[in-house]
Structure 1
Amino acid sequence: MQNALMPNLLTKRAFLTPDRVAVYFDDKQLTFKELYNQSLNTAGKFQGRGIQKGQYVGVLLKNNLDTVVILFALQLLGVRAVILNNRLTSSELVWQLKDSQAASLITEGSFADKDLEIRDMLPTLPTLLKEQLDSLPTEIPDILEEINLEDVCTIMYTSGTTGNPKGVMQTYGNHWWSSVGSALNLGFIDTDCWLCSVPLFHISGYSILMRSVIYGMPVVLHESFDVEKTIQDFHSKRVTIMSVVGNMLTRIIEFLGEEPLPEYFRCFLLGGGPAPLPLLEACVAKNIPVFQTYGMTETSSQIVTLSPEYSISKLGSAGKPLFPSEVQIKLEDGQKAKEGEAGEIFVKGPNVTSGYLNRPGAMLDKVHDGWFSTGDIGYLDEEGFLYVIDRRSDLIISGGENVYPAEIEAVLLSHPDVMDAGVTSREDERWGQVPIAFIVQRDGRSTAEELEQFCLKRLAKYKVPKDFYFVEELPRNASNKLLRRMLGK
């Protein structure tokens, strides 16, 4: 469709505002022109290695200036980046690389151990270390002058309730409308500067890069969250917005003590679950605006946001849908719920995914009359504010990471001594929630320490249960379905 075409985002931004700072990282910075030139040069090196338009290419990198250049180099070529969570095990990464039919993998030396294990399991997969780029010859790249908003830009894997990861297809249009919706909600000023210490492999991080080129706004990128460095950069880089999850915000408030934030700081964008009342009250007392949000990988970041003026009066609410988006609550019979009536949350909008990679039938269960089924339960009040009651029913949110019990249970059940396993969560002061496991053993031989080590080899650390409880049986209903809410009761 001709009307779905627009100029390549980085090319256009470098043309419009070449001398504006695009990204700060440690003591380095790049203007949009410099970012374009470095990305163009890297695109030429990728092309020389056979990476080309339309391919799916795995990206396993940390938050770094090089990572930003590489991600935009892939956009210039029209390559679809399969952005991999670097906290996953090699086995989990290999599964995603196979599922996406990745043509190659771009990674870095700090993941040498994982890289060796991946090469051992996928010996035919071409792998390129970012440290090798400088030594590669550069071709004149065949760059994408225009992008089609319907084309896939990125793939990010999210686990389903069955424990099987699915590659969420995020189009250029999804990213564009997500950025537009956020700008229409937060507003935008010339002096805005966004601090990003959330991972770029998460949609929360990647969406900030997209906003940068669309808005012409600098991003202050951190490799990971460091509260002292965060406060320093608030002042030295004049940060106005920061994306956080609950435990990050708590640590910032505690670190600040009586010290106020700079007057030019506009807001925290809070995701990863609702904020507890004491935290919100502390922010109000310090006159710190917090925008609570609700979103997912399938909506290319936030789709519902609570403005700070409602943070107390609408306590517990995720807010209202962003301008281009809609929210609806449906009952089990498919009827629209009444005000205050709980049901499944459905969303609609141009930032919602078109589907899952290599799973053409997966959206049949997800989309009903154009509305996307989130699997989450909530209700709308009389003013249209969304309240999320349960996220995908059994979902555990640990430090902003989504953890699905079924995935952990599948690993535990693969242990020869485990007859049955159930996973739920307990509250944790630092992470919000952490997974815990209830085990029915065959012969009572395994210890909690042995099961923990077994899981660590097969799951990312944040998914590994923090406690193991050995029980005689697990609670199940008449259909033999595990009743996770009854675990430990």
Structure 2
Amino acid sequence: MHDWLTHRVTATPEDLALIDTDTDTRWSFSGLDAAVDETAGRLAALGIETGDHVGMLMSTQLLSVCLVHAAQRLGLRLVPFNDRLTATELAGQIEHSDLSVLVCGADTEQLAVEAAGSTPVASVDDPQWAEVQSFRSVEPEPVEPVDWEFDDPQLMVFTSGSTGDPKAVVLTMGNMLASATASGFRLGVDPDDRWLLTLALYHVGGLAPVLRSTLYGTAVVLRSGFDPGTVADDIERYDISVVSLVPTMLSEMLERRGTLSDSLRAVLLGGAPAPESLIERCRNYSIPVFPTYGMTETASQIATARPQQAFDRDGTVGRPLLWTELTLVDDDGQPVESGQRGEIVVSGPTVTAGYYGDVDANVDAFCEHGLRTGDVGYTDEQGYLYVLNRLDDRIISGGENIDPGEIVELLRSHPEVDEAAVVGIPDETWGERVAALVVPKRETLSEESVETFCRERLAGYKLPRLIAVTNALPRTASGTIKRPAVRDQLSALAEADGDDSTEVISVASETDSVDAIPAESGPDAESTGDRQDEQSTGDATDEQPADSSETTNE
């Protein structure tokens, strides 16, 4: 197998491949192929060879897309870096990646120079620093597409680091191909599709549309940045049919424009749990939302719900994609039954080969059932997945294990609460106590109603001792809740009466309705707030195309 663009240009050379919204320029697959061939030739002229690791520190633009394809053409391992990080944060990742060169642009050159250390830096633009090599100063060398095997590493993508230091995830050609194929069966593929690229290329959620669109023979539409109103307008202006978003992006777009163009047939919504109110708004305005659960380690999607499934089953992220198998396990690593909470373990052809240069992480990440995601969830009797929280988010108070996902799920079911994050904060008596940060649906939130709501549905030791309200939860670039930031904010509030940005709405006394739980008590006490499965059957088999339009244009 060669790079996907080489195969695509043979099949449909004149079809639309890319639209650059910044310049309103359109590229056919043959035109894009020529630009990629030039990029690959310049890399070769700079001494880059098959098997080398090439870093990419660039904003989303035509040349960064060309670099993605050129790396595949030359048989390189591409390592995209987050250009929002500081030089100090980047330096460790660059050193860890064993790069032959770090490629940047004019807008990221200073950051690249400050972070690269001894790693050579090359710019696709005219360099501003003497030590930076120039793509434009070398003549492209002739290149031939290399042969790829399914097990050949294609990408190294760093995790977001929301629960620890970022790790370099190795993704193979087989991982990316399996992900693209399975996603196509779940979302569908139409020959006239246009996928708007709103997520950065240092995320698999940004890389995936670039590669998938090439495989499918459909167009990708580039944007250099995200502005809610402009992106919403571009969906209508360019007849966008597919877009990938995180919930905060979609919420902001709807706040600006009310609804979205009816040209859309799929809004792939991931990166963080979607508030129930957002899914309900999508239902009311006929927005075809596909809530999804995925990871860098699985080349993007693990499970994805189609719109009607999301509307009928609050909180679900759907069934696993084609070839993906899920096992939910208890603390001893034993599978649990449907309806019971457990750690989500995933296996299948999309799962990473491991983390680069991190033996300990690889040992910890895998078990007999597959990749341990570190996420807690459950499946209902029809196989629909519900993701609750991170395993390492568990709170231990008075010797009792408390699942914060259960409390988040309960708070989100309160009619006045839109979103919530629950963490443990230090407590001299109990070790940790439960604290919650909530986002209200309206400007005011009734303290009494929230307290009563929780007390009627939770055992005493699970009750939040501190509830604070804020306008938005702190999140990473991918939309994941920044739990350390939540914990720091709530810990500070526990020592003070509040600050300008957050209002304390409920602080219970230290002993009020708290059960004295002895250390030897087990963690299996059931809560009256536990979710019961009352779902209906009758959905179409997920391995079949959603409708007759789900075909490639070959």
TM-score by length of 2: 0.70
Residues 346, 260 of structure 1: alpha-carbon distance in 2 compared, 3 angstrom cutoff: closer
Report the structure number with the largest CA radius of gyration. 2
Residue aligned with 2:318, SS: strand
Any residues of structure 2 matched to 1:66-465 within 5 Å, and which?
Answer: 66-119=63-116, 122=117, 124-132=118-126, 135-158=136-159, 163-257=164-258, 261-262=261-262, 264-394=263-393, 426-427=437-438, 429-430=471-472, 433=481, 435-436=485-486, 437=488
SS state at 1:135 partner: helix
Mean Cα displacement is larger for which, 136-145 or 275-284?
136-145
Further displaced range: 428-437 or 334-343 = 428-437
Structure 1 residue aligned with 2:539:
none
Change (3 A) 1:438 1:234: closer
The letter of the residue matching 1:286 is: Y
Does the 8 A contact of 2:437 with 2:490 survive in 1? no
Question: Structure 1 residue 23 and structure 2 residue 22: aligned?
Answer: no
**What RMSD, in angstroms, separates the aligned Cα atoms of the two structures?**
3.2
Partner amino acid, structure 2, of 1:210:
L
Paired letter, 1:267: A
Deviations 1:274-315 (A, max 9, x none): 211221111111111110000110011111011111113211
Q: Distance in 2 between matches of 1:300 and 1:56?
A: 19
Partner in structure 2 of residue 53 of structure 1: 50
Greater shift in the superposed pair: 377-386 or 360-369? 360-369
In the alignment, the residues of structure 2 paired with residue 425 and residue 58 of structure 1 have an alpha-carbon distance, to the nearest angstrom, of 40
Aligned partners of 2:8 and 2:327: how far apart in 1? 36
Find the aligned partners of 1:226 and 1:440 in 2 and give their Cα distance.
Answer: 33
> What are structure 2's unaligned runs of at least 5 residues?
127-133, 395-403, 405-420, 424-432, 439-469, 475-480, 493-500, 505-517, 520-554
**Structure 1 position 440, deviation (Å):** 9.8
Measured against aligned partners, the alpha-carbon deviations of 1:120-156 in whole angstroms (never above 9, x if no partner) come to xx1x321001104563222434433421111111111
In 2, Cα distance between equivalents of 1:304 and 1:429: 29
Give the AA of the match of 2:15. Answer: R
Map Cα deviations across residues 160-180 of structure 1 (whole Å, 9 max, x no partner). 677332110011111111110
Bigger shift: residues 104-113 or 181-190? 104-113
- C-alpha distance in structure 1 between counterparts of 2:472 and 2:491, whole Å: 29
The 8 Å contact of residues 229 and 257 in structure 2, kept in 1 or not, is answered as: no
Q: Deviations over 1:312-367 (max 9, x none)?
A: 32111111100121111011122110111111000111111011111245322222
Identical amino acids, percent of aligned pairs: 34
SS in 1 for 2:352: coil
Letter in 1 for 2:123: L
Please tell me whether the aligned partners of residues 235 and 260 of structure 2 are also in contact (alpha carbons under 8 angstroms).
no
Contact 1:45–1:136 (Cα < 8 Å) also in 2: no
Tell me, yes or no, if the aligned pair for 2:3 and 2:69 is still in contact at 8 Å: no
- Displacement of 1:385 in angstroms is 0.7
TM-score, normalised with respect to structure 1: 0.79
Q: 1:319 to 1:393 in 2, by over 3 A?
A: farther
Cα pair distance change 1:14/1:383, threshold 3 Å: same
Write the deviation string for residues 385-417 of structure 1: whole angstroms up to 9, x where unpaired: 111110354399xxxxxx9x9xxxxxxxxxxxx
Equivalent pairs, count? 421
Equivalent residue for 2:6, pick from 1, 11, 30:
11
Contact preservation (8 Å) 1:152, 1:171: yes
CA contact (8 A) 1:274 1:317 kept: no
- Secondary structure in structure 1 of the residue aligned to 2:107: helix
Q: Is the 8 A contact 1:8 1:145 kept in 2?
A: yes
